[in-house]
Amino acid sequence: LESGLQENELKLNDFDATVRSINHRGYSVGAPENTLPAFAMSKKMGFKYVEADVTFTKDGIAVMIHDDTIDRTSNGSGKVSSLNYADLLAYDFGGWMGEEYTGTPIPTFSEFIKLCRKLGLHPYIEVKHSGSYTEAQVKSLAEEVILCGMSRKVTWISSNETYLRYIIEADDTSRIGLLHQYAVDDTAISKATA
């Protein structure tokens, strides 16, 4: 997965760097989305920035997955928020993409952020708006980033303004982006700069 890459081989990307392209859910055209192989492949394919989605299990473990359910990206079924992390480990999150990915587990947020650090990737982390996360849960994400030495080396994105406020409260150096799906007007700009 990480063969040949040394810790801190590349300088972690700066906030001031020009972002040319961001891999959506990792290199998801070649590896199962939001998995460690997809993020490692992003690096191998020359990308410096990866977008990833984080949500919480029933027992409060932050995991990397886009959908509210595991139905589309695993051999299991059910809502992530209704399953404990140990339950998720029983499912295959890669076999649907190809035999070489059979047995790929759902990654935790901690595993993801440590891999980004090791590979020199700048993650754009989407805190999903569809969840009903507590302040403590969202702040725990920012705290994990700090503990991993990645503060100021990630960008947080969400369409939920409250979640972005929690991130800033936990780490006021955080870079955030408010996702907005309609025309950018004065109202949208006011929300984003408030």
CA dist 122 to 9, 75, 170, 189, Å?
14, 30, 19, 25
| 66 catalytic per annotation | yes
Task: Point out the catalytic residue in the list 24, 122, 129, 180.
Answer: 24
Question: What is the Cβ-side half-sphere exposure of residue 136, based on CA atoms within 13 angstroms?
Answer: 2
| 24 catalytic per annotation | yes
By residue count, the chain amounts to 194
CA dist 11 to 63, 78, 154, Å?
26, 40, 13
Burial class, 146, CB count within 10 angstroms (exposed 0-12 / middle 13-18 / buried 19+) = middle
Task: Point out the catalytic residue in the list 66, 122, 129, 180.
Answer: 66
Catalytic positions, written as ranges = 24, 66
